[in-house]
């Protein structure tokens, strides 16, 4: 595995990417960070004072959607010379942190004292033991889609990350927003401002200034609706997905909705590849689809069948799915058995399905792909 800058320059040389000076600068900074990590020994004591060796400063990359942040993060994470590292969507990380906090609070005093993450003197405060647990499994944390819109997260972040940085954890993050724009206009934002200062102390901040939406380029002028089902449609959809990955490997993600867990095996940045069977056969509802639309700006849905009257429940869920994706202006790529207006033309709700078919037609247009994602709750 080459360095980030070597991998990036090869993609440019092979005409898989166009030269972009902003991306080049980001690749250089990530390569420098990887070099510092190579020489860093987490927890190693210095000879002079017996203190832990300072951790390298991390990196916060921000900029508009589609300018290569996820691609660069993939290059960095796969090449970072750190044994204990993890890459996680920021929203997923915070959901897990809240669950860990709730679990710690449920422990009895004796259970806490016997736990591996027990911190003497922390009392009933769960932050220190939760941070200790995170630091025990990761010296490097790479966050995709760093964003703060929830007051519960905003009030937690400063205390949690102060402990993580004190434990020597190095952080790299991508975001659509500059640090000073996080939690903009949020309730009690003045209490969040010290966390922004903490980011500036612990991470170098770099804006990717690009005029090209590379994600959009991968989809532009390409079919977004493949029909009928078969090898040709499978190949066409897969080609678009591979173009979107640009040589990177997809990874699994879980999202949580009202206590339920939804798992997706193939995600990359703000894109997910799934199927009709995964989305519409289980008993999912509007809340699930709204969360999906909030977290992903591009959704690939494979193997949409022609639905008959006995599939009315699946058809209703499909309508809810498309409504959620439509309202959030999600980019949609599908393979289907037939044209939208023929997917469900008989059975209960077939008349109402006509609006869904109309939206599917609109979502396959070039004009639709020019629209910005408007999912709320996360920046994707």
Which of 207, 237, 272 finishes a domain? 207
My answer on whether 186 and 224 are in the same domain is no
pLDDT digits (tens, 9 = 90+) for 219-228: 656 789 999 9
Instruction: Taking the CA atoms of 291, 293, 297 and 302 in sequence, report the sign of the dihedral they define.
Output: positive
Residue 81: pLDDT over 90: yes
Between the two ends of the chain, the Cα-to-Cα distance in Å is 28
Which of 140, 174, 207 finishes a domain? 207
pLDDT of residue 311: 92
CATH of the domain at 68: 3.40.50.300
Nearest to 348 by CA among 320, 307, 312, 306: 312
Q: Residue 92: is it exposed, middle or buried by C-beta count within 10 angstroms (0-12/13-18/19+)? A: middle
Residue 18: pLDDT over 80: yes
pLDDT of residue 176: 86
Nearest to 179 by CA among 131, 143, 212: 143
My answer on whether 75 and 119 are in the same domain is yes
Q: Is residue 354 part of a domain?
A: yes
Q: Which domain holds residue 303?
A: 214-369
Nearest to 318 by CA among 207, 191, 159, 332: 332
My answer on whether 157 and 272 are in the same domain is no
pLDDT digits (tens, 9 = 90+) for 255-269: 888 778 899 999 988
My answer on whether 199 and 227 are in the same domain is no
CATH of the domain at 314: 3.40.50
Q: Which residues pair with 298 in a beta bridge?
A: 271, 331
| Domains of the chain: total | 2
Q: Is residue 27 part of a domain?
A: yes
Pair 282, 252: CB distance under 8 Å: no
Poorest-confidence range of 5-14, 207-216, 241-250? 207-216
* Tokens read off for 136: 């025990």
Do β-strands 203-207 and 140-144 pair in parallel, antiparallel, or remain unpaired? unpaired
Q: Is residue 380 part of a domain?
A: no
pLDDT digits (tens, 9 = 90+) for 154-173: 999 999 999 999 999 999 99
My answer on whether 189 and 255 are in the same domain is no
CB atoms within 10 A of CB 2: 12
Q: Which residue has the higher pLDDT, 44 or 121?
A: 121
pLDDT of residue 379: 30
Q: Is residue 321 part of a domain?
A: yes
- Chain centroid to Cα 108, Å, comes to 35
- Predicted TM-score (pTM) of this structure: 0.71
My answer on whether 40 and 161 are in the same domain is yes
DSSP state of 361: H
Q: Is residue 377 part of a domain?
A: no
My answer on whether 231 and 342 are in the same domain is yes
My answer on whether 25 and 98 are in the same domain is yes
Model confidence at 92, pLDDT cuts 50, 70, 90, reads confident
Q: Cα(162)–Cα(146) distance, rounded to whole angstroms?
A: 17
DSSP state of 118: -
My answer on whether 362 and 218 are in the same domain is yes
My answer on whether 203 and 219 are in the same domain is no
Nearest to 174 by CA among 212, 211, 203, 135: 203
Q: Is residue 379 part of a domain?
A: no
My answer on whether 234 and 165 are in the same domain is no
My answer on whether 82 and 142 are in the same domain is yes
């Amino acid at each position: 595995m080459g360095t980030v800058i070597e991998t990036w320059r090869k993609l440019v040389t092979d005409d898989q990417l166009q030269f972009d000076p902003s991306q080049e600068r980001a690749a250089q900074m990530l390569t420098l960070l990887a070099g510092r990590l190579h020489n860093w020994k987490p927890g190693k004591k210095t000879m002079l004072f017996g203190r832990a060796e300072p951790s390298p400063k991390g990196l916060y990359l921000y900029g508009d959607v589609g300018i290569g942040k996820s691609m660069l993060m993939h290059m960095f994470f796969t090449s970072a010379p750190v044994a204990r590292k993890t890459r996680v969507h920021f929203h997923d990380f915070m959901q897990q942190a809240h669950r860990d906090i709730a679990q710690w609070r449920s422990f009895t005093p004796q259970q806490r004292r016997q736990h591996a993450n027990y911190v003497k003197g922390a009392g009933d405060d769960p932050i220190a033991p939760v941070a200790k647990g995170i630091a025990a499994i990761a010296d490097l944390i790479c966050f995709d889609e760093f964003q703060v819109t929830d007051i519960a997260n905003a009030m937690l972040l400063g205390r949690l990350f102060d402990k993580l940085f004190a434990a020597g954890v190095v952080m790299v993050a991508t975001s659509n927003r500059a640090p000073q724009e996080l939690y903009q206009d949020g309730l009690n934002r003045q209490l969040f401002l010290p966390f922004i200062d903490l980011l500036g102390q612990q991470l170098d901040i770099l804006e990717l200034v690009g005029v090209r939406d590379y994600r959009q380029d991968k989809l532009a002028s390409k079919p977004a609706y493949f029909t009928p089902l078969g090898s040709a449609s499978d190949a066409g959809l897969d080609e678009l997905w591979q173009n979107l990955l640009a040589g990177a490997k997809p990874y699994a993600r879980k999202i949580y909705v009202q206590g339920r867990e939804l798992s997706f095996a193939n995600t990359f940045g703000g894109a997910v590849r799934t199927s009709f069977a995964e989305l519409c056969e289980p008993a999912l509802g509007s809340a699930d689809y709204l969360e999906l639309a909030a977290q992903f700006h591009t959704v690939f849905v494979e193997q949409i069948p022609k639905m008959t009257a006995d599939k009315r429940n699946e058809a209703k869920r499909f309508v809810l799915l498309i409504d959620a994706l439509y309202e959030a202006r999600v980019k949609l790529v599908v393979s289907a058995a037939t044209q939208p207006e023929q997917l469900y033309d008989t059975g209960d709700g077939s008349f109402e399905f006509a609006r869904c078919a109309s939206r599917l037609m609109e979502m396959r247009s070039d004009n639709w792909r020019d629209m910005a994602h408007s999912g709320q709750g996360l920046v994707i």
